[in-house]
Structure 1
Amino acid sequence: MSAGVPARVGVIGGGRMGAGIAHAFVLAGAAVTVVERDADAAAAASARLLESLRRSVERDATERRFEALAAAVETTADAAALGGCGLVVEAVPEERGLKLEALRRAEGTLGPEAALATNTSSISIDDLASGLERPERFLGLHFFNPVPASQLVEVVTGSATGPGLVDDARGWVEALGKAAVVVRDSPGFASSRLGVALGLEAIRMLEEGVASAADIDAAMELGYRHPLGPLRTTDLVGLDVRLGIAEELHAKLGDRFAPPDLLRRLVADGHLGRKTGRGFYEWSDQ
C-alpha cells in the first residue's frame, strides 16, 4: 500500500466518475468497495472498472498483474459493505437529494474516525454537511474526468471540516500521483466556476455564429495552450452536467452564469456529449 492511501476505500456510484475514482485508488494500493443501487448496476460497474484496470495493465501503467488488481475490487448493492473503510467517496449524479441520501447511508456504516467525501462539482459542502452526524469528518474531493489521466483533485473544505482531515486528503491525493488544490466551500469552488464561465461564453459565441465549434476550441488550444477547448471539454463532461452546474451558479452568482438557450435545447433533445454520441461534436466511438 502506498503511503497515505487508506487500506480500504469505498466508492458510492460506479458510473464513469465512480469507476475512475475506484481505478485510481486500486492502482495506488487500496482495496476498493464500489456500492451501486442494485445488482444489475453493480455488475455493470464491475465490468467497467475491471476493463479499465485491464487497459492500465496493457499500457504498462502499473507493474502489478491484472489478477492482483481485480482481487482488490468488490462491487455490491449492499451499503453495509462500506463498514471498515477508512474513506468513502460519494460519486452519484449531481443532485442534492441523491447525494445526501447516499452520504447519510454511508455515514451510518462507518466508524467515527472514517472520512466521508463527496465528488460534487457545484453543490455546497456545508449544505451537504448539515445533514450529517459528523461534519468534521466530511469534505469535498472533486476529481476530474477521465480520472486516471487527470492530474488534479480539488479538496473542498466546509466550515466544519477538521484541519487534520484536510492534511489527510492532501496525502491521499499525493498517493494517487495527483496534485491537490485546496479551496473553501463557495459556489462552483474554483475549477467549476472558472471552467463553466469559459464554457458558457464559448456556447454563446457558437450560438451567435462567431465561429465554428472547432475554431472556437482551436483558439483556446493553440492560443492559450489549453489541452482541450471549452466545447470539446463540455462534450466530455456532459452537457447535462454542465447545465446543472450553470443553473446552480446562476441561482447563487447571478446572470453571468445564465445557461445559453443552445445548451438548454441540446440537453432537452438528448444530445449530452460523448456519452450519447452527439453534443457540440459527433462522437463515432459511442
Structure 2
Amino acid sequence: MTSIARPYAIETIGIVGTGAMGRGIAQIAALAGLGVRLFDTNPAAVGAARDYLADTFAKLTAKGKLDEIHARAALGAVSGAQALAEFADCDLVIEAIVEKLDAKRALFRELEAIVSGRCVLASNTSSLSITAIAAGCSDPSRVAGYHFFNPVPLMKVVEVIDGLRSDPAAGDALMDLARRMGHTPVRAKDMPGFIVNHAGRGMNTEGLRIADEGVARFVDIDRIMREQAGFRLGPFELLDLTALDVSHPVMESIYHQFYEEPRFTPSPITATRLAGGLIGRKAGEGFYRYVDGKQQVPPEPPAPTGLPARVWISNRHPHAHDAVQALVARAGVPLDTGAKPAADALIVVTPFGLDATTAALDESLDATRVVAVDALFPLVDAQRRTLMTTPATTRSVRDAAHALFAADGVPVTVIRDSTGFVAQRVVATIVNIGCDIAQRQIATPHDIDLAVTLGLGYPRGPLALGDALGARVILTILRNLHAVLGDPRYRPSPWLARRAQLGLSLTQSDAADRHPDTGDSDRPTQSKEPSQ
C-alpha cells in the first residue's frame, strides 16, 4: 500500500511495558515536558515504575542535577493506565515488551483499534524486524523502530528504524522527539541488528574466535584491546557486562537473520558458558569472577630480564622498521644491519594480517629466532605492545624479545602465533563490518560512526577508525587474513576496497550521491543529520 505523508505532533506518549527500558524512556520523556502514560499487563508494575521515577527524581534533586519544581512537574506528567483504551488520545505509543514477534504484532493490532490515525506506533525492539512487526497492522505506515539503549537516561543515542512500509514523516517525528528528550537520533533501514548491534559483532565475534584458536587468554585479549588499541573495554569485559543470556541469543539471531553470514558466526565458547550459568557480572562469574561486584583480574607477571645480543629487523614495512629501530636504540641493544641476520641476532618481523610463521618463511628467516611485533598502533609511545612467536621460536629468544620490548617499562603481551595478531584482527573486522553497513546503505557513514561511538563507547566509529589507521593498511590486513586462512569472514567490503584504492575517506559517500551544497547523501532512507 502507498501511504500519504502526514504531520505527526507528539506531546503525549503511551509506554507499554514498565521494565528497565520502559521506565528509562518514561524518565527522559517526562523531564522533556511530555505527558507520559504507563501500562503493563501486571498492574503492580505500573505503580512500581512510578515509585521508581519518584525516587530517581528525588535523588537527582538531592544531587543538584534537577530543581524541585521541574522534578514535581515531571512526576506529575506521569500517570498509570489500567487498560490500553486509556491510550486513545496518545500521539505516540512505544512498546517495550518481551522480544517476541507474535506478542508485538498482537499488541500493535490491538492499539490500532484504539489510537487515532495520527498516532505513531514505535517498537523498542533490539533484534526483530520492524517490517515484520508492522505486517500485522492494517496501516503499517505509522509503525517505526525506536531503539533505545540501557540505561536509557545515560545512553544518549536512539536508533530510528524505517520499515519497508514506514511513513518517513513518522521517522522524522521520532528524530525530532529524540532531540527534545536530550538524545542523539540516528536513522537506519530495517536490517538485522540495525546499526549498533550489527556493528558490535566485530569486537565480540573476533575476540571469541581468537580465544577459540588458543592464541591468548581472555584477560590478555582484553588488555590488548584496551591498552594497545584504546578501547574502553575488551570483548570479554564487555560480554560480562551485557551478560551472555542477553548477548549470546543476539549473536545467534543476527547470524541466522543474515542467513549464516560467516562474519557473524557465533562461538561455542559463549554457548557452553551460557549453559553452565557463567553469564557475567550479574551472576558473579563470567569470563572473570566478581567479588562484591569487583572484577577479579589475575596479576600480570614481570617481564623477563636479559636483553638479546643484537637485533635484526625486517625492512618489509619501512615505517614499522623505523619504529622498532627506535625502541632497540632506546634499550641500548646493538642493531644488526646485515642483509641477512647474524647467527646470534634476534629476528624481528612486523607483519600486517600474517602470522609470524608466514612472515618468517616469506623472507627465508630462521623461525627459531623469529618474533613478530604488532606495529598497527604506535610502538614508541605505547601503553602496551604485543609480540607473537612462531611454533619453533625458542623460549630464550621469546624471553629476550619480551625483555627488549618491555625495557622502557611498557607492558608486553606475548601471544601464540596468530594470523593478524589480536588488535589487527579485531580492529580490521570492526572497520570491515562498518564499511559493509555503509555499502548496504543501512545508514549514512555519519550515523554509523555516531551510533557506534555513543552506543558502544568505542574511541572512534568504525569508518573514522579505518581512516585513522589507514584504509589501505586495513585492506592489506584483511586480504592477508583471507589469503592465509581462506575464511570468507575476512573478505573485504567493497566500500573499503574501493575507497582504499582511490585514496578516499571511508566516511565519504559516493560523490554522485552527495548534495552539492551540504555534502550529505541524497539517499532517501538515510539520515541527514549535521556533524556533531
* Both proteins in one fold, TM over 0.5: yes
Shift of 1:89: 1.0
Instruction: Describe the SS at the equivalent of 1:54.
Output: helix
Whole-Å Cα distance in 1 between the matches of residues 67 and 242 of structure 2?
Answer: 30
Instruction: State the match for 1:49 in structure 2.
Output: 53
User: For the structure 1 residues 238 and 119, does the alpha-carbon distance in structure 2 shift closer, same or farther, using more than 3 Å as the test?
Assistant: farther
Higher relative contact order (CA 8 A, sep 6+): 1
* 149-158 vs 221-230, which moves further: 221-230
2:24 alignment partner, one of 14, 20, 23: 20
Q: Deviations over 1:155-187 (max 9, x none)?
A: 111111112112211101111212111111112
Q: Deviations over 1:208-235 (max 9, x none)?
A: 5544545434433444444444333334
Output the CA distance in 2 between the equivalents of 1:54 and 1:198. 38
2:292 counterpart residue number? 284
Q: How many residue pairs get matched?
A: 283
Deviating more after overlay: 160-169 vs 212-221? 212-221
Q: Does 2:14 align with 1:6? A: no
- With over 3 angstroms needed to count, the CA separation of the structure-2 counterparts of 1:97 and 1:273, relative to structure 1, is farther
Give distance in 2, aligned partners of 1:46 and 1:271: 33
C-alpha distance in structure 2 between counterparts of 1:47 and 1:273, whole Å: 29
The superposition leaves residues 78-136 of structure 1 with CA deviations (integer Å, 9 ceiling, x where unpaired) of: 22222211111111122212222232233332111011111111211111110112211
Measure the CA separation in 2 of the matches of 1:120 and 1:237: 16
User: Does residue 147 of the first structure (1) align with residue 132 of the second (2)?
Assistant: no
Q: Is the 8 A contact 1:94 1:241 kept in 2?
A: no
Equivalent runs, 1:99-178 vs 2, <5 Å: 99-178=104-183
Percent of aligned positions that are identical: 33
Aligned counterpart for 1:186 among listed residues 177, 185, 191: 191
Specify the code of the residue in structure 2 equivalent to 1:122.
S
User: Shift of residue 14 of structure 1?
Assistant: 1.3
Report if the CA contact (8 A) 1:5-1:172 is conserved.
no
Q: Give the 3 Å change call, closer, same or farther, for CA 217–49 of structure 1 in structure 2.
A: farther
* Aligned-partner Cα distance in 1 for 2:16–2:182: 22
Structure 1 counterpart of 2:257, from 237, 240, 252: 252
Q: Distance in 2 between matches of 1:40 and 1:271?
A: 32
Aligned to 1:268: 275
User: Aligned pair in 2 of structure 1 residues 234, 10: CA closer, same or farther (>3 Å)?
Assistant: farther
Contact 1:196 1:242 in 2 (8 A): no
Cα separation, partners in 2 of 1:187 and 1:105, compared to 1, 3 Å:
same
Deviation of residue 141 (structure 1)? Answer: 0.8
Q: Do the aligned partners of residues 22 and 216 (structure 1) sit closer, same or farther apart at CA in structure 2, a change above 3 Å counting?
A: farther
Instruction: State the secondary structure of the residue aligned to 2:158.
Output: strand
**Counterpart contact for 1:5–1:175, Cα < 8 Å:** no
Is the 1:159–1:185 contact (alpha carbons within 8 Å) kept by the matching residues of 2?
yes
Structure 2: unaligned runs, 5 residues or longer: 1-7, 295-532
1:73-92 to structure 2, matched below 5 A, reads 73-92=78-97
SS at match of 1:202: helix
Tell me if 1:240 matches 2:248. Answer: no
Letter in 1 for 2:42: D
CA distance in 1, matches of 2:38, 2:240: 26
* CA distance in structure 2 between the partners assigned to 1:210 and 1:257 by the alignment: 20
Matched to 1:284, the amino acid is D
Paired with 2:31 and 2:291, the residues of 1 have a C-alpha distance of 29
The one-letter code sitting in structure 2 at the alignment partner of 1:261 is P
The 3 A distance-change label for structure 1 pair 35 and 207 is farther
Measured against aligned partners, the alpha-carbon deviations of 1:132-160 in whole angstroms (never above 9, x if no partner) come to 12211111111111111112111111111
**Residue 188 of structure 2 contacts residue 195 of structure 2 at CA under 8 Å; is this kept in 1?**
yes
Q: Judge which range, 170-179 or 230-239, deviates more.
A: 230-239
One-letter identity of the residue aligned with 1:189: F
Rate the CA distance shift 1:73–1:195 in 2: closer, same or farther, 3 A.
Answer: same
**Tell me, what secondary structure is at the counterpart of 1:139?**
strand
Root-mean-square deviation (Å): 2.7
Give the whole-Å Cα distance in 2 for the aligned partners of 1:276 and 1:102. 32
Distance 1:208 1:173 in 2: 43
**Highest Rg: 1 or 2?**
2
Q: 1:285, CA displacement in angstroms?
A: 5.1
In structure 2, relative to structure 1, the CA distance for the partners of 1:141 and 1:228 (3 Å cut) is farther
Structure-1 residue corresponding to 2:37: 33
List structure 1 segments (4+ residues) > 6 angstroms apart after TM superposition: none
Bigger mean CA deviation after superposition, 240-249 or 44-53: 44-53
CA distance in structure 2 between the aligned counterparts of 1:263 and 1:98, rounded to whole angstroms: 28
The secondary structure found in structure 1 opposite 2:125 is coil
TM-score (normalizing by structure 2): 0.49
Tell me by how many angstroms 1:271 deviates. Answer: 4.5
